Amino acid sequence: MSGLDWQEDLPPEAEQRREVFARFGLAAYQGQCLERQVAILLAATHNPEFLHTPPEGRDAFFDREFRKTLGNLTRALTDRVKLLPDFRTRLEEGVRLRNWLAHDYFWERAADLLVWDGRERMISELQAAADLLGELDRELTAVSDAWAVSLGLTPAMIEAELDKLLGREGT
């Protein structure tokens, strides 16, 4: 690393800045998880063609959805599925939040990043963003999991396939 070992003790302000960026990273990660989960739902769970397509052709469904923005994905999901009004509202809020984080967050919080209290607010705000985006992802993942179980796919079967994909067989 550029002259400063990341494990070294840092002054409190630098430590706090590190925490801001770590919380931002977590919120961005949760936003990407949400985006991919909506794409997975559209590609597989709510796609009547998916199960009638040979396994080697199913990647095309994922590729098509993975190219879309989160806004386009959620619009497509709400067109295909009747969502509970509360969930739909939270999902729309999640899209706005994720887009704000990706495009405007640091621009709008530039002054806060310069002062202790501002950074404290940012840490709280970013944790709340990560919590909301993560909760939305978990709720949608539960839908995908229930769909898989309805097809007879157990969590152990899914884990075994994941191990194969990741080259962890027999470990």
Residue 63 has, within 13 A of its CA and on its CB side, a CA count of: 5
Q: pTM for the complete prediction?
A: 0.85
pLDDT tens over the chain, length 171 residues: 555 566 678 899 999 999 999 999 999 999 999 999 999 999 988 888 988 898 888 889 999 999 999 999 999 999 988 889 999 999 999 999 999 999 999 999 999 999 999 999 999 999 999 999 999 999 999 888 888 888 787 888 777 766 776 778 765
User: Which residue ranges make up each domain of the chain?
Assistant: 12-165
Q: Exposed, middle or buried by CB within 10 Å (0-12, 13-18, 19+), for 31?
A: buried
